[in-house]
Every structure is written in structure tokens, then in C-alpha cells.
Structure 1
Amino acid sequence: MKIVAVEAIPFAIPYRKPLRFASGEVHVADHVLVRVRTDDGVVGLAEAPPRPYTYGETQESIVAVVEKLFAPDLVGLSLLERETVRARMERTVGNPAAKAAVDMAVWDALGRTLDLPVTQLLGGWTDRMRVCHMVGFAPDAEMVAEAERVRDRYGIRTFKVKVGRRPVDLDVDACRALRTALGPDVELYIDGNRGWTASEAARALQAMADLDLTLAEELCPADDVLGRRWLTARTTVPTVADESATTPGEVTRELLGGSATAISIKTARTGFSTSQRILHQCEGLGVEVVMGNQIDGQIGTACAVAFGAAHRSSSRRAGELSNFLDMSDDLLTEPLEISGGELAVRPGPGLGIDIDPDKLARYRRD
């Protein structure tokens, strides 16, 4: 069970349509496939999605840090030495997506070695999650049409609406159009991607007080600690920390400082090992968590649902697990399928996924 190689393979798959939000927009999934190989011939898989406008990582930087820094430090370790793996990667500052992918690939390799699903190793609470779909910036009619199509085709009834535009009225009108079209039985919540000031966010929430929003995520800049604290104290909508809570220490600051009342967990930036730390923090403090999405492909989505389904508290809310629907293709031999508003954990050892070698050859960029 010793690690003999850690590989980082860049690939790029276009989206059918771009996803637009306050901090940027995505046209191509220019991600990195991470593979951890063992001396038993086992290969663990994960995916690193670079988000330079959020964490500063690029496809090139992820490949470089995995191959030049992480791989030499990890080769020779056992798959059971996950704490040592984590500690050695933590010597390097930042690089959350790169670290997360390596961590999850190690877990996948361990599951394959033991012939057990990763979700069972993590906790084994359930085998599926309800799905939330993210709706990006577009004219109101297009946003409504997308939500209706996803609801009718996949049975999804929870929607996260991207906001953060100026003037604020653009997003207020969009949310009102969605609520009118979808009716009262569909859950709506908003994500500002740090696009508004605290005062703009307060005005928007007041204008949408009758829309029954269930959450408001990262409406203000991540480093505006006082502004987010001021906003959280003045709204009845639970405020979710996302980009401002990417480490256990930041989670502590956000919750104890009153800047948030819930936390978004993204396995794409905290892997399985650090995500469990954050989840247990939140359980101890009695706050809700949401399984977030870093515009993951199907590999990353398989990781997110495996983690979310493994724990009682992370499976309570619908997870953001549908962005791969907008990709024109993917690398898996068997694509993920959303049915009845749910995504099931893939059966089989590890993450239960395999890479199609022909697709990888077609889309890889090295």
C-alpha cells in the first residue's frame, strides 16, 4: 500500500454554455486529473479545478506543485499514513485545490485497496444526496427557463441563484422571477461570490424578504470581516461563509466572530481529510453545513457526493452537485446520473469511478 507515484495531468473540456457569477465566468473546464499509484498496482483518482480569481491557482500551478513539491514528499508513504500526507503538503502555503485532489486520490486508492467504498470509510451514513442546481447570471427569462428545464428533467427542487451584480435590482428582479415561476414549494437561496458591499447586501435582502430565501452565501468580500458581521447581525436569513472559510482556522473566526451562521464545505478545496475537520467543527458548534461546488466535473462531483452522503449533517441539505450537466463531455467511463432530484454514490470500491483512456487522450493538454 505504498505510494510510488503522484501524477498531475492537465485537461480541458468546453462547457456547453458559460457559467457567469460575480467573481468571474467559466467557459472551459481546464482542470487537472490527479492519480496516486501504489506498489500494489492500485490507482486512486481525483480532480483539481483551478479557480485563479478565488484562490490564485491555475492549471499550470497545480501541475507544478503536485509534481515538483508534493510527489517527492509523498512517494514511499503508506496509504494509511494520511495524516503524514496532509502534514507534508501543509508545508506549502495555499494551493488548496492541489492539496485536496491529492488527499482524495489517496482515499480513493485506499478504498480500492481495501475493496470498500470511500463513503463507507468516511462514515457510511447514506448512499445518495438531494441535488441543488446553481443558476448563473443571464436575463431573467433565461434563468427561469434553465431552472424549469432542470426541475422538469431531473426532478431538482433546490436552486442556488448567483447574485452580486450592480445595480442590486438586477438580482432582486431575477430572484423574484424565479420564485414566481417555480412557486412556493421550490427552495431558493443566493450566492453573491463577494460581489456586494455589506450595505448593498442588506438592501437586497430587505427587498427580497417576501421570497422565502433559505440561505445567503458570501454576499460581501471575504476579507470584509466587520461588514459581514454587521450584515449577519441584521438579517434573519442564515448567512453562509464560503470563500471566507477555507480552513479550520477561518471557520473558527467566521463562526465565533459572528460573521456567518453556516459553512459551505467544498471537497475540491479541502479534500476529505480537512473537510471532516471542518464538518466536526460545525457539528460541535451546532451550525449547518452545505456541500458546495467549485464548478466540478463528474470526477469532483463523485468526490463531493461520496463525502456528503457519508455524514448525517452534510447530507441533510441538498448538495450543489449538478454543474457537470453544463459540460460538453467528461472523462468517466460511466457518466453520473441525476434522477428524481437525487445523485447516488457510485457503487464499487473507492469512489467507484474509472477514466476512459480515449477521452483522456482527447482532452489532455500535456
Structure 2
Amino acid sequence: MSRIVVPELLRAAQLKASDPASSIWVSANAGSGKTHVLTQRVIRLLLKGVPPAKILCLTFTKAAAAQMATRVFDTLATWTNLDDAALREAVRETGAPSPSRTDLLLARRLFTRTVETPGGLKIQTIHAFCERLLHLFPFEANVPARFEVADDVRQATLLAGAKRDAIAEAHRSTGALGAALSRIAEEVGSASIDKLIGEAMRARAPALRWSLADPQDRLPALLGGGGLSVEAVERDMIDGGIAPAEWPEIAAFFATGSTNDQKRSAKLGIALQAYTDYGAERSSRTHAVATYLAVFFTKDGPAKALMTKGLAARRPDLLAELITEQARLVDLLEARKTAETIERTQALLA
């Protein structure tokens, strides 16, 4: 294996950064040798006689801590088998001064000294360091003296259990909590509810503030919903405009027109049947509303022509009434979206 040749300028910078006598900040790209510099710095501290127990290295990740510890111990283990000349060269490569015979003896003993030090060489994550401090001062930190930090697997297990218990409790509830779960389940389905709960938990801080601030009043004020419920808006869609009692006459008039007029007549007939079934509790309010909206809207939005020119010439008053009704329904559709947003948000907060 060919030896990697490090440019002299880079080597000089690394030696300067690994000098334990200096306080150093290193900023460099990934893979440019930061871990190597830190490893050399630790080794040079050990070569100066600093007790391993007094050296503390903090990293962000467990992988980084493990990599650095491996490099330090691999280097020190290698030194135990080198002759004087090879060991002297290895020590100089770290940036340390050329060692004396006493220094060489110390270098060979560093591996054993470091391994046998109580507590060992402390190369750990910031989280582990903080956990250690909390264990040392539990009373001052107001935590249980023998607390344990759950690992990722344990966290996932606890979280899954907590979510399962919360959903089961909501399912058993016959009050507001049960109604909130039903609303959420209707909106997202069973397959997506776990993902939704996860998103909500990631925003738990603002969600908690909303819960404590009583969103029943604040949400409608912010979203401009006027305090209307989805049910109230949908009732207004059917009962607040052209009276259902007039629908049969309008449908009959449409039936005398062209093919498109006859299609609208059929839609209005379906809406009338759905409305009748809803009154007899054989259909849902939402279904009755959807069939009525189909008279005035397509999948792309408001219908551009509510009747053909032939019928319009015969009943311009009816055309004007239909145009007014369509505009009213456009406004109510926006009001329903706002009401749905409010109700969904309130259910999710619950």
C-alpha cells in the first residue's frame, strides 16, 4: 500500500492545531482531517505526561466518539511493538519534540496507562457528558438519583405504548375526546393517523400553548370563520338560497331544454332525492350538499354556463337567480373550508 503524501502546508497547519499548548478552533470540510488533528492533540497531551483521567473530548455523535477512541488506542497499541528508532519517528510525526530514552519508555507505556486508568480516557458525546453531570448532581438538577436515559429502541417502544393507550382512551370516551378522535379518523384514515400524531408531537410546544389558550375562541377570530360550524354552513347551503320546494319546478324547466340542460335537470333531481332522504334520515347532510353543489359546480370549479341560451331567453329571471345562488355557494364553500380547518385543528389539539 502506497503511503499518502500530505502537502507540507497542510501538515504544518495540522501540527499547529494539534499543539496542546495552544487554544485552537478548527473549521474544515468533512474528510479533511479534523479527527486526525484531534487524535494527535490527545496523544501529544499524553506524551506531555497529562493523566488520561484529566482529558475530556466531547463530540456530537456516538460514531465520532467511537472513531476517535479507536484511533487513539490503535496508535498507542502500535507503539508498544516498535523499536526505538521507529517509535522516535512515530512520536515526531505527531508534532511532539524528538523524544529522549525516558520519553520513549513513557510512550510505550501509554497504552497500558490509558487502558488501566479508572474511568479511562473520556471521549464521549455531549449528551453523555451532560448525563454524567446529572448523575453527579441529581439533587441540584432535581432529577431521580438513579435515573436512566432511554435509548432509541426504548424510546420508540415507550412512545408507541403511550400513543396506543391515548388512542384507546379516546376511543372509549363518549364525550369531546371521543368525538375528536372520530373526526381525525374520518379525515386521515387509520393508515395515516400515526403519522399525523407524530407531526403533532413534533409541534407539541405551540400546540400546548394553544390548548392552554382555549382555541375555541382564538381560531375562528384568526381564520375569519365567524364562529360557524361545518354543519351550520352546510345547512345554509341547502336552506339559505333557492328553497328546495322550488327545485322540482326548476328541474322540470331544465328538462325541456337541450342535452346539457337535461343533464342539469337530472342533477337537480338527484339533489332533491338526497335532500328528501336526508330529511328522512336515510342519507347524510354532506351527501345532500354534495349533490346540490353538483348542479352549480364542476370538478374544475364554478360551472361557466348554468343554462343554454334557449332556456335563458325564456327565463332570464331564473338565470339571474341561479347566478346569484352560485355566487352565494362560492362564498359558503370558502366558509366551509375555514370551518373545517377550525374543527380539524380543535380535534387534533384535543
Which TM-score bucket, shorter chain as reference? Answer: under 0.3
Larger radius of gyration: 2
Question: Which has a greater percent of helix?
Answer: 2
Greater RCO between the two (CA within 8 Å, min separation 6)? 1
**TM-score, length basis structure 1:** 0.23
**TM-score, length basis structure 2:** 0.24
Question: Which has a greater percent of strand?
Answer: 1
